[in-house]
Amino acid sequence: MTRRVAILGMGGHGRECLFIARSMIAAGADIQVVGFYDDGPSDDDLARVAALGYPHLGTFPDLLVQRDLEVCLGVGAPSVRWRLDQLLLEAGLAGAVLVHPDSTVGDDVALSEGCVIFPGARLTTNIQLGRHTHLHPNVTVGHDTVMGDYVSINPSASVSGGCTVGRGAFVGAGSLVLQGLTLGESCVVGGAACVVRDVAPGALVKGVPAR
């Protein structure tokens, strides 16, 4: 049965999710993107989505009353995905798992509902990703790593093996998390940082080494 997918968010992140879905379809996946939902799209984003051939179907409340749809949260901020997913769960709407064909996902990697894997991402073995976790282009995740819900790992960041990444954590572009470390819930790792020790929940760290 064809999976019908709606994307919430018409900005750049949502359109990148559309790119992943279209790449999956081109590779033979049986999915259909029905369009976008967004509470307040800009004129530019409306024009960009229309140029791609997809409609603006309505607002988030309009989405919540739909059925037989999977939802991709095309939103970059972990805290926003976290909040929106609570409403999706109450409405009984499942999260769409999108995996770009130009990524590597090991046979024993567990992807929860709503995970989005961008092109060039590499996930090796015995990795668990929580709900609506987004791994951006060229991210690498090492063996035996566990990520909570709503995590964002931005482009070209590397999370080494045996790490634990808490719910809602954000890892900036080009950063490195060394093996066996724990990133606490809702922490932020700045771009191009090198994390050499555990990061406390809610903390912001940056630099080399990250402090």
Rounded to whole angstroms, the Cα distance separating 109 from 126 reads 5
How distant, in Å, are the alpha carbons of 5, 28, 57, 83, 103 from that of 78?
Answer: 20, 30, 24, 9, 22
Tell me: the pLDDT tens digits for 161-199?
999 999 999 999 999 999 999 999 999 999 999 999 999
Q: What is the DSSP letter of 209?
A: T
Give me the pLDDT at residue 65, please. 97
Give me the pLDDT at residue 1, please. 86
Give me the pLDDT at residue 106, please. 96
Tell me if residue 190 falls in helix, strand or coil: coil
Where do we find the tokens 């970059």? 76
Nearest to 168 by CA among 146, 186, 188: 186
Tell me: the pLDDT tens digits for 71-108?
999 999 999 999 999 999 999 999 999 999 999 999 99
- Is 132's pLDDT higher than 90? yes
Q: Domains in the chain, ordered, with CATH? A: 3-96 (3.40.50.20), 98-203 (2.160.10.10)
Counting residues of the chain whose pLDDT is more than 70, the rounded percentage is 100
Tell me: the pLDDT tens digits for 21-76?
999 999 999 999 999 999 999 999 999 999 999 999 999 999 999 999 999 999 99
Q: Is the pTM of this model over 0.95?
A: yes
